[in-house]
Structure 1
């Protein structure tokens, strides 16, 4: 059943220099933010909004288009416009690669999913040898060939990120790391068993709009950006032993870090 405009939406301000369609979008956005329209609710129909605001149908459509571009609502053909459900937010915490988790046989994604009270899953797994890009090669010390591990991560059945790990072949070939399932604790646990005790990780993070392929892979709604994270793992000898290139749905994450003050 569609939500009613009365009570949830106000009136237009005729003295404002802000365009009418933007005022309407502002009011609907505020109603969503304050929970007057909840996730999954059907918004008032175009006809109801036309009547409520006393504007043309095209003005209402322009308003709804703004909200769709922002990723707040989705239009279902023949049914109406709905407040888009959001995936559970996971905190990308600074301790997700702590050794204690690996010693418990848990990968970083499993740790994060458990903290969110959600079920984790990995699919679309591909493992193989390849020639690295110039950027990846530079980060790993210029190896000619690498082992690449590509996978997509799902949270409660919904894709939230996909990642590719690149490891020098002299470290990974003919080891459990080259298997689809590297075992408890993931590839970092296997690296340490092979004598490459991890010392630290460097991460570079940026936000951008997704490519068409990323939209399909992560099933992103219109207007939802991605977080692009590149992480390099170093052992205690200072060698880069892995580069992980990760793309995440930005609406599924909060980045949470503890930084020392000294």
Structure 2
């Protein structure tokens, strides 16, 4: 007797999900095809297809056209928001781009422009005050992993390397330190959400993958907000790390 009517797409997805979590199917393994699931469960093709698509929507699998559905690998890059100590023991939030195999591409530098409303509020700027904007993309091999835009008030950045394409070793934080505005405290908000169409294209995100949006404000010793960054990470590639005292 056919099991159609007793077996649903959800129950197929539940069985496969359990097998993935149990290690029956490991990262990179191919899951049973629609035809195999039809035979095993006695269901119509659309039921089998929907069961597989539910796992993709959860981010557990990826589809390789012409090859099948595979268990997604997750070997995350650690984005350490609490930072690591530099040679002078100054703590700044950084990502170890060398160990992660990432390279940074500067996409655009705008020496002076009106900030977004989000950046204006984070930096505590009055209307009409402009910022220097730096846009960058972090890439692993040929795969974009992180997109970031940072804003520094022009009162600080004008006529400095921060407003130039080549910012020099240590990036923005090193230049701010040289200018007497070393970041010593950071405020950070993180949200997880589904990506926009533009982010899917820019980061080449797999379907069903969320992004992590990090919004960070850097403050100097006088409490002045000296930089605001809006960073979007491919949620299928990163793990955020925070280290703090109780």
In the superposition, the TM-score normalised over structure 1's length comes to 0.82
- Is 1:120–1:154's contact at 8 Å kept on the other side of the alignment? yes
For structure 1, the 5+ residue unaligned runs are 1-13
For the residues of structure 1 that align with 2:67 and 2:212, how far apart are their CA atoms?
32
SS at match of 1:205: strand
For the residues of structure 1 that align with 2:148 and 2:81, how far apart are their CA atoms?
18
For the residues of structure 2 that align with 1:69 and 1:95, how far apart are their CA atoms?
31
For the residues of structure 2 that align with 1:50 and 1:19, how far apart are their CA atoms?
11
Check if 1:80 corresponds to 2:68: yes
Tell me the equivalent position of 1:245.
Answer: 230
For the residues of structure 1 that align with 2:221 and 2:106, how far apart are their CA atoms?
32
Select 2:118's aligned residue among 117, 135, 139: 135
For structure 2, the 5+ residue unaligned runs are none
Deviation for aligned residue 1:76: 3.0
For the residues of structure 1 that align with 2:137 and 2:161, how far apart are their CA atoms?
19
Distance 1:126 1:107, change over 3 A: farther
- Is 2:106–2:134's contact at 8 Å kept on the other side of the alignment? no
Q: What do you get for the CA RMSD once the two structures are aligned? A: 2.5
- Is 1:101–1:108's contact at 8 Å kept on the other side of the alignment? no
For the residues of structure 2 that align with 1:157 and 1:107, how far apart are their CA atoms?
25
Distance 1:101 1:37, change over 3 A: farther
Tell me the equivalent position of 2:80.
Answer: 93
Tell me the equivalent position of 2:12.
Answer: 24
